[in-house]
A and B are shown apart, each in its own frame.
Chain A
């Protein structure tokens, strides 16, 4: 174990760290975009035509964050990467948190009624 630690300590340089960070950052940012997109689609199913305009606003914020993901591969320093990731996550979390406060009640009611609703089919 000690040898492994010493090996990593000498080989996992800041350059290797940035390469790994870039690859991982793109992968988890893409998964976040997909995850929030599906979440908003679920909200749309639950809410129907209500608050259509508001959902459009949330989708817009999501697409802006997705657009910013395109710049991640071109950032070379960890501080710049962290700032861009902060902006991307900030937009995505804002979308999610708004829905947590605004839509949680409707979502819970929908899921509470779902077994009966599905059973009627």
Chain B
């Protein structure tokens, strides 16, 4: 059971990442620009392998290696930091899904209205979202690391701060998932309206 729970984060990351790839592919299909999908897929695969390694390193270092003393690379809170990195990446993935779903909706809407097929520019939204999220993660955990030694934070205070960060990410998960759900309803209604060639 313990191993299953520890691998759950990896499974969720895999599932969400795969869904993001397919939503992105759907957008590319609509805009006729499927060429760069392979390079993006390879990048995501590489990032995923790295993240799995980071997670497994925590498990091995904390429990598998004799004499590790509950620390990895001399750092007691390694697993908490990696878990929060995962939480940040779920925000990034869901945010990227929101960006592509919004674009897909605009494309379908434009087509349904009979207007000129509008192709939004590629945009740097996903890249900006990724960089901002990772910068916030680094800033929060950098300051926390500084305080652990500078303010001599207790173990429970560190855990409270690590958990608080997860709840901040939770706000974004909720916001993004509700957005995608509501956009999905609008896409579904548009599809229904045009079902069977507009009968």
A112 adjacent to B30 (CB under 8 Å): yes
Within 8 A of A (CB), among B151-172: 151, 153-154, 157-158, 160-161, 163-164, 167, 170-171
Q: Is B136 an interface residue (CB 8 A)?
A: no
- Contacts A21-B170, A42-B187, A100-B18 aside, 9 further interface pairs with beta carbons under 8 A come to A9-B153, A9-B160, A27-B178, A34-B181, A35-B184, A38-B185, A42-B188, A42-B191, A96-B19
Q: Is B120 an interface residue (CB 8 A)?
A: no
**Assembled-state Cα–Cα distance A32/B1 (Å):** 25
B52 CB to closest chain A CB (Å) equals 17
B167 adjacent to A17 (CB under 8 Å): yes
Within 8 A of A (CB), among B185-199: 185, 187-188, 191-192, 194-195, 197-198
Chain B positions within 8 Å of A, measured between CB atoms, are 1, 4-5, 8, 11-12, 15, 18-19, 22, 25-26, 29-30, 104, 107-108, 111-112, 114, 117, 143-144, 147, 151, 153-154, 157-158, 160-161, 163-164, 167, 170-171, 173-174, 177-178, 180-181, 184-185, 187-188, 191-192, 194-195, 197-198
Q: Is A97 an interface residue (CB 8 A)?
A: yes
**Assembled-state Cα–Cα distance A109/B167 (Å):** 39
| 16 pairs from A and B in contact (CB 8 Å cutoff) | A2-B151, A24-B167, A24-B170, A34-B181, A35-B184, A38-B185, A38-B188, A45-B192, A83-B1, A86-B8, A96-B15, A97-B15, A100-B18, A100-B19, A118-B108, A118-B194
Instruction: For the complex of A and B, list the 3 residue pairs with the smallest distance between their C-beta atoms, beginning with the closest.
Output: A9-B157, A121-B198, A38-B184
Total contacts A-B at CB 8 Å: 137
